[in-house]
Amino acid sequence: MTITMKDIAEIVGVSESTVSRAINNKEGVGQETRKEILKVAKKNNFQPNRLAQNLAKQETNVIGLLLPDIASLFYSDVARGVQDYATSQGYQVIVCNTDDDKEQEVNYMNWLQSNKVAGMIFLGGGLVNNQIVKLGLTDYPIVLANRLVEEVPLPSVIIDDTIGALKATEHLLDKGHDRIALLLGPNNSWQAQNRLQGYKRALKNRDIEYDQDLVIHKSWSREGGYQGFLELMELEEPPRAIFAADELMAAGVVEAIKLGGYFIPQDIAVVGFDDTVVTSVIDPPLTTVTRPMYELGERSAKKLLNLINEEEIKEEIEILESELIIREST
């Protein structure tokens, strides 16, 4: 037979509402009493009646995670972080692939809301649309993960890309390089501009003049990295250090360097961006910037559950920093 809150209340000698507050981690219960209640609950294998809890709140213990495409290595890591945290707190996650399509996203939002989902995380995909702003202006719990909003402050967790680029550039500077090439995606891409900014800041911090010839914009692809390297080799004084600010570009650069008969890092040092299955097969092992993707998911889920449970959140906008993993390519 399962034990109820009423039973626990009788055993501990407190009211049923005190038991409820203790189990739901709400205020108004002394520390000792809370401990005693939780001990009795655990000993008797108490299972809260989720259905009854949700009926009272008129919502389910399910959260929605809307992202452009789960097939992306970046998003799947984040999704894992979201799910692991949510599951540990008794929540399930519905993942919706929006393909970066505004209409599809709005359809999913409506569907999730009509199914009384407790809250939503919007992961990636540029500026929020106004449907999200509208939702954010109500009390409905939402969190933006690596997604930006212009009009109103919405609870967000964001990875600061510029810091990763700064650290990568500083590392090459520390290795004695003062002519460092930067390979980036298209000039008008948000990611490219952020990474360029980190690169510039590192140079400025060391009083090294920025040389536009060393910055090459190509497509975010292996081919882009390959072609970028060929362009750099045409310079009068080719650089001996390259920061390829994308995993595929890094793979292309390494391939081109080797085909050219150069050695890494003896002839040319390389730093990549992101640490995924792609960068893991590069030889020599790649020094690379790693973004805390799992942590982004975990923190976003934590923020959302705090909002759902009406707990205070410390920071409205949380910033996570990228790290540099030093291996053998520098």
Partner 1 sequence: MAKVTLNDITKVYHSNEEGDVLAVEDANVDIKDKEFVVLVGPSGCGKSTTLRMIAGLEEITSGELYIGDNLVNDVAPKDRDIAMVFQNYALYPHMNVYDNMAFGLKLRKFDPDIIDERVTEAAKILDIEPLLDRKPKELSGGQRQRVAMGRAIVREPKVFLMDEPLSNLDAKLRVQMRAELSKLHERLQTTTIYVTHDQVEAMTLADRIVVLKDGIVQQIDDPISLYSEPNNMFVGGFIGSPAMNFLKATIKEKGNDLVLVGKGDFEVTIPDDMAKTMKDLQTYIDKEVALGIRPENILDPAVHDDDEYDADNLIDAQVEVVEPMGSEINLYLDVGAEESIVAVVDVNSGAEVGDEMEFAFDMNKMHIFDAETEEAII
Residues of this chain that bind partner 1 (CB under 8 A): 126-127, 129-130, 133-134, 137, 148-154, 156, 158, 160, 162-163, 187-190, 193, 197, 316-317, 319
Q: Is 208 exposed, middle or buried (0-12, 13-18, 19+ CB in 10 A)?
A: middle
12 vs 16, 22, 28, 36, 65, CA distance in Å? 10, 12, 16, 7, 40
Instruction: Give the residue from 162, 224, 218 showing the smallest Cα distance to 186.
Output: 218
State which residue, 137 or 235, has the beta carbon closest to partner 1.
137
Q: What are phi and psi of 175, to 5 degrees?
A: -80, 5
State which residue, 5 or 123, has the beta carbon closest to partner 1.
123
**Amino acid identity for residue 243 in this structure:** F
Give strand pairing partners of 318: 157
**Placement of tokens 């500077």 in the chain:** 173
Give least dist CB 86 to partner 1, A. Answer: 25
State which residue, 134 or 206, has the beta carbon closest to partner 1.
134
State which residue, 20 or 197, has the beta carbon closest to partner 1.
197
Give least dist CB 58 to partner 1, A. Answer: 11
Give least dist CB 165 to partner 1, A. Answer: 13
Give least dist CB 187 to partner 1, A. Answer: 6
Give least dist CB 193 to partner 1, A. Answer: 6
Give least dist CB 311 to partner 1, A. Answer: 20
**Placement of tokens 């889920």 in the chain:** 301
Contact (Cβ atoms closer than 8 angstroms) between residue 139 and residue 307: no
State which residue, 80 or 217, has the beta carbon closest to partner 1.
217
Measured from the Cβ of residue 119, the count of other Cβ atoms closer than 10 Å reads: 24
**Amino acid identity for residue 210 in this structure:** Y
State which residue, 24 or 110, has the beta carbon closest to partner 1.
110
